[in-house]
Amino acid sequence: MILYRQLSPIIILSGMAFFLLSGCTKDVKEENTNIPLRIRQPAHFPKPVYTFDNNPPRRTVYELGKRMFFDPILSLDQQVSCGTCHAASAAFADPRGSAVSTGIFGRKGLRNTPALANLIWYPHFNQDGGINHIEVQPVAPINDSLEMGVGIANAVSILQNHPEYPELFARAFDSDSVTAARILWAFAQFMGSLVSDNAPIDAYYRENKPLPDKAIRGKSIFDEYCAGCHTGVLQSDFSFKNNGLNMGSHDIGRAEITGESQDEGRFRVPSLRNVAYTAPYMHHGQLNTLKDVIEAYSSSIADHPNLDPGLPVGGFGFSSQQKEDLYQFLLQLSDHSFVNQSF
């Protein structure tokens, strides 16, 4: 009995040493699994909506999400990845500049591809706010027959039967079993890491660094006419508004989700971060350039039963100087380092 008690710690210790040593040579897997990933939360931003509580950021999970994001095998024709429509060079909007998205077999989608940035601060997704959780968002394009069309159940089996993915899942989740939940956690970590906080407007908010003169005038015009909707550092209050610029689009927008007639023709106010990179503009890509957008707010706001009361029918009637100043201000929302990152 006594002997046993004395021996047992040694047995336990040598057992642990064996485990640790064999762990070292077995693979780098266990080490990698636990490398935490820091997802930036800039001090001048509000509190994020998505806090990764059930999905702790780790390097291996992020890497898996990144690989899937750029991998066309998750589409029915094996040609379209998330990155086909959302590319860094276009601030994760469509690098092809199409008015509406183009998915599998060249099929035209229904809406313009939005830019992606700062998504963990979003209370809802898509231009009608139809999805309310970042982890659920990728199910939409994977299932959509105009986008990737492969279906989430199929995606699980494609990845499970792939020569490399099960190992990547094992590194990320300690199990090579591919599940929809794990796919979605990994996507959420990659998407959540797309933090854009390095535009001149950030330096202005963060450390009071002045904007160029032209842009300062533009900022006061923006603050007066635009910031009521395109609010704060995220440049959106995330409400649903009709801005009088639907220009012949028959998309009913928010009403698609709520079924309410007062929501017809309303779309979520988009963030204007990196807007210089994301042409064309509006839910249907109905305006080609930023100058067209400014001109439209100046002279083409159309009446609509749900037009926001802050927007005058006909337009704001800006002078050419005001238009130029506004344009200069919108350029200050560009985060060049964000757009120039390579993956």
Q: Is 60 in the site for ligand HEC (CB under 6 A)?
A: no
Piece of 1-9, 34-42, 171-179, 264-272 that binds ligand HEC (CB under 6 A):
264-272
- The dihedral region occupied by 286, where left means phi > 0, alpha psi between -120 and 50, and beta the remainder, is alpha
Piece of 2-10, 46-54, 163-171, 308-316 that binds ligand HEC (CB under 6 A):
308-316
Q: Which of 72, 166, 228, 315 binds ligand HEC (CB under 6 A)?
A: 228
Q: Is 101 in the site for ligand HEC (CB under 6 A)?
A: yes
Minimum distance, C-beta of residue 290 to ligand HEC, in the bound complex (Å): 6
Q: Which two tokens stand for residue 133?
A: 């959780």
Place of tokens 């986008």: 147
Q: Which two tokens stand for residue 138?
A: 């990728």
Nearer to ligand HEC among residue 173 and residue 218 (C-beta) = 218
Q: Which of 45, 204, 225, 338 binds ligand HEC (CB under 6 A)?
A: 225
Minimum distance, C-beta of residue 62 to ligand HEC, in the bound complex (Å): 13
CA 166, distance to chain mean position in Å, is: 26
Q: Are 210 and 216 in contact (CB under 8 A)?
A: yes
Q: Is-cis flag, bond preceding 280, omega within 30?
A: yes
Nearer to ligand HEC among residue 125 and residue 338 (C-beta) = 125
| Alpha-carbon separation of residue 86 from 7, 29, 82 (angstroms) | 61, 30, 6
Return d(Cα 331, Cα 272) in angstroms, integer: 10
Q: Is 323 in the site for ligand HEC (CB under 6 A)?
A: no
List Cβ neighbours of 9 (8 Å cut-off, separation of 6 or more).
none
Number of residues counted as binding ligand HEC (CB under 6 A): 49
Nearer to ligand HEC among residue 14 and residue 288 (C-beta) = 288
